[in-house]
Chains A and B, each alone.
Chain A
Amino acid sequence: MFERASDEAKEIIRNLNYKNKDVRRLIEEITL
């Protein structure tokens, strides 16, 4: 789901609710 996304879409995913620390941690795990 993540790997197939374009660079633009990956950036959007990384920024979804990024201010929330739990979400930030979750997104970092997904996208690393």
Chain B
Amino acid sequence: MNRFEKVQKNVEEIIKKSPLEFDLIHSRKVLYWLLKLKPDSDEILKIAAIAHDIERGITGITEITHLKSYGDIKNFKKQHAKRSANFTIGLLEKYNYSKREILRLKKLIENHEEGGDEETNILTDADSIAYFDYIIMLTLVIKKVVRKEQGKKLNLCLREHLMKQRK
């Protein structure tokens, strides 16, 4: 197992504890889309992709349960990104990554919600595509596994959720 695989195993063990069940799939999908957008992504970019939401596996803080205490969604997302960056930095220190690599990872994760420079924008894009990829996969699964009427209700809930997420 190489160093990246060890980090990924560690990250996934944490993400599995997230109150949002889709977080583990999302982490893997962001990595998948990152490699589609930038096949030569290096270790730091790949770690940022798998760990950008890691804090939910540690703090359990989600928009659903804690948004009110942050005032607005922008501030909530900023604090979420900061916490995820700090937790991931702790992991990188454990695996002896250089100070330069750690600073780059910090920048990537702290800005993954808004983007910024070229490589952060790629991470943001991978995150966006992975989110919709999951929602669409879920829609197809719902269609197959639940009865028609239940499916309609769930599709309606999904649509309402998506409309709120458009920005």
**Which residues of A are in contact with B by a Cβ distance under 8 Å?**
1-6, 8-9, 12-13, 16-17, 20, 22-23, 26-27, 29-30
Contacts and interface: CB of A to CB of B under 8 A. Distances in A.
A21 B124 CA distance: 28
A3 B50 CA distance: 22
Contact of A30 (B33, B113, B132, B133): B132
Contact of A27 (B114, B115, B136, B155): B136
Interface residue tally on B, bucketed by range = 20 to 34
Nearest to A32: B166
B96 interface: no
Contacts of B139: 22-23, 26
A9 B159 contact: no
Contact of A16 (B114, B115, B121, B132): B132
A3 B166 contact: yes
Contact of A1 (B121, B128, B136, B137): B128
B167 A6 contact: no
Contacts of A26: 135-136, 139, 155, 158-159, 162
Interface of B: 33, 37, 113-115, 121, 124-125, 128-129, 131-133, 135-137, 139-140, 143, 155, 158-159, 162-163, 165-167
A29 B159 contact: yes
B34 to A, nearest CB: 11
B136 A23 contact: yes
Contacts of A27: 132, 136
Given A17-B140, A27-B136, A4 B162 contact: no
Contacts of A17: 136-137, 140
A30 B162 CA distance: 7
A1 B125 contact: no
Contacts of A22: 139-140, 143, 155
